Amino acid sequence: MSDLQHKLEELLNEVNSASITDSAQLEEFRIRFLGSKNCLKPLFSELKTVPNEDKKMVGQKINELKNTAQSVFDQFQDQLSNETQNEEKIDFSRPGEPSEIGSRHPISVIRKEIISIFERIGYGVSEGPEVEDDWHNFSALNFPEEHPARDMQDTFFVKTDDEEMALRTHTSSVQVRVMENSKPPIRTISPGRVFRNEAISARAHCFFHQVEGLFIDKDVSFADLKQTILFFAQEMFGKKAKIRLRPSYFPFTEPSAEVDVSCTICNQEGCNVCKYTGWLEILGCGMVDPSVLEAANIDPKEYSGFAFGMGIERIAQLKYRVNDLRLYSENDVRFLKQFKSTL
Ligand code: 2NL
């Protein structure tokens, strides 16, 4: 066998045993066997040295090799393009990835619940600024000049160009604006965030959420206050809930009371949530002090009223038995996702 025929055998072997797995290898193969400087070209020149009687046969073999190389190339090209297409193919029959639905913050759930209870008995909702002047947060509410609540220790103060302002310590400041800007009868509740200068712990925080209520009309009595609070307690904690009032003191109400609800956890049998008293404190209230009405230009001889205030965190603690206040503002998803609400 001639040298040329040997080379032909070897190249045919190489073409037939080619294994191509990526486009770089395919390109290498194309340049070697099919490119403008392919390795078959020199073989055609060598054909001159082949004896005449063999020329036709050897020439055919070189052509066959060329054709084989072309078909091997085509085959691998097809295979590679199929593979990349498969990678990009989307399977529309796959089930969808479930996406998690968010939940309401427990403070929002309880706030909406409180608002909805009072809306059903004719109360409207009023809101106001978180940064307040001294008049609306303190003076109009009968806080004496030297009252300890006005102290730096209890209140955050903010200095502006012309006035020292306070971060409101209660939403009563909103209700002062309502009294100033409207005439009785007044029925309003004021939900909102309030601030106290306190070290953060499980039981105290520098901000929390409040709902305050105010009712002013002719001949409003303490009995009206008591019945309103009882209605609220039974809507919130169940029809079997009882309330009791203990005398207390607030600068803006006289007389004042603190309200306990019967422990819904142990049915007053005694448990560690109610500290074996059978009662849980839920809010503070009282008859609006005549000097507070006067400060807002409402004649206390013509009108009287009651007011109350509750911490939303406190109500949420009782409903959800969460005993660390910090959880409400840390936004830990593991905590938040436990609260689902339809409100
Ligand atoms: C509590 C107690 C209270 C009020 C808030 C009020 C508002 C006006 C006039 C009179 Cl405009 N009173 N609000 C009255 C009694 C108690 O809150 O423990 N809050 C968390």
Q: Would 101 be classed as within a structural domain?
A: no
Predicted confidence (pLDDT) per residue in 5-55, tens digit:
888 899 999 999 999 998 899 999 999 999 999 998 888 888 888 888 888
Decide if 276 is inside a domain: yes
Q: Which of 50-59, 154-163, 201-210 shows the highest mean pLDDT?
A: 201-210
* Per-residue pLDDT tens over the stretch 104-151: 999 999 999 999 999 999 999 999 999 999 999 999 999 988 877 777
Shortest-distance atom of ligand 1 to CA 178: 11
Q: Is 286 in the pocket of ligand 1 (CB under 6 A)?
A: yes
Q: Is 252 in the pocket of ligand 1 (CB under 6 A)?
A: yes
Indicate whether 115 and 15 sit together in one domain. Answer: no
Among 89, 120, 140, the domain boundary falls at: 89
In a shared domain, residues 178 and 57:
no
- Position 256 pLDDT exceeds 60: yes
Q: Decide whether any atom of ligand 1 lies within 6 Å of the 293 Cβ.
A: no
In a shared domain, residues 280 and 143: yes
> What pTM did the predictor assign?
0.73
- 89, 124, 151: which is the final residue of a domain? 89
Q: Are residues 49 and 81 in the same domain?
A: yes
* Same domain flag for 127 and 263: yes
Same domain, 189 and 271: yes
Is residue 104 situated within a structural domain? no
Banded model confidence at residue 103, pLDDT cuts 50, 70, 90:
confident
Q: pLDDT at position 84, please?
A: 77
- For residue 343, what pLDDT is reported? 56
CA 43 and chain centroid, separation = 75
* Residue 288 Cα: closest atom of ligand 1: 10
pLDDT digits over 272-307, tens only? 888 899 999 999 999 999 999 999 999 999 999 999
User: Which pLDDT value is given to residue 52?
Assistant: 87
Let me know if residue 114 belongs to a domain.
yes
Which of 111, 174, 212 is the best mutation target for the ligand 1 pocket, counting ligand atoms within 8 Å of the beta carbon and taking the most? 212
Q: According to the model, what pLDDT value does residue 233 have?
A: 97
Note whether residue 95 is domain-resident: no
CB of 33 within 6 A of ligand 1: the answer is: no
Phi, psi of 214, rounded to the nearest 5 degrees: -140, 130
Mark whether 187 and 313 lie in a shared domain: yes
pLDDT in the model for residue 161: 78
On the question of pLDDT at 234 being above 70, the answer is yes
Query: Does 207 share its domain with 289?
Result: yes
Q: Output the pLDDT for position 1.
A: 62
Which of residues 59, 89, 119 is at a domain's end?
Answer: 89
38 and 137: one domain?
A: no
Assess whether the C-beta atom of 126 lies below 6 angstroms from ligand 1: no
In a domain, 225, yes or no: yes
pLDDT-derived band at 225 (thresholds 50, 70, 90) equals very high
Range of the domain at 10: 2-89
Please tell me the distance from the alpha carbon of residue 24 to that of residue 317, in angstroms, as a whole number. Answer: 67
> Residue 319: CB partners within 8 Å, gap ≥ 6?
110, 236, 237
Domain tally for the chain? 2
Distance of alpha carbon 274 from its chain centroid, rounded? 32
Q: Tens of pLDDT along 167-207?
A: 999 999 999 999 999 999 999 999 999 999 989 988 889 99
In the sheet that holds 131-132, the strands lie side by side as 131-132, 164-167, 157-159
> The domain spanning residue 268 has which CATH number?
3.30.930.10
Contacts of 239 (CB under 8 A, 6+ apart): none
Both 14 and 136 in one domain: the answer is no
Q: Same domain, yes or no, for 134 and 261?
A: yes
Same domain assignment for residues 67 and 148: no
Least trusted range by pLDDT, from 85-99, 248-262, 266-280, 285-299: 85-99
**Minimal-distance CA residue to ligand 1 atom 6:** 307
The number of CA neighbours under 13 Å toward the Cβ of 114 is 30
Q: What is the mean pLDDT of residues 62-87?
A: 88
Which residue puts its alpha carbon closest to atom 18 of ligand 1? 284
Q: Average pLDDT in the 200-222 region? A: 95
Report pLDDT for 342. 61
Flag whether 254 is marked binding: yes
pLDDT at position 341 over 70 = no
**Residue 235 placed within a domain:** yes
Q: Is 191 in the pocket of ligand 1 (CB under 6 A)?
A: no
Look at residue 313 in the predicted model and tell me its pLDDT: 94
The reply to whether 208 falls in a domain is yes
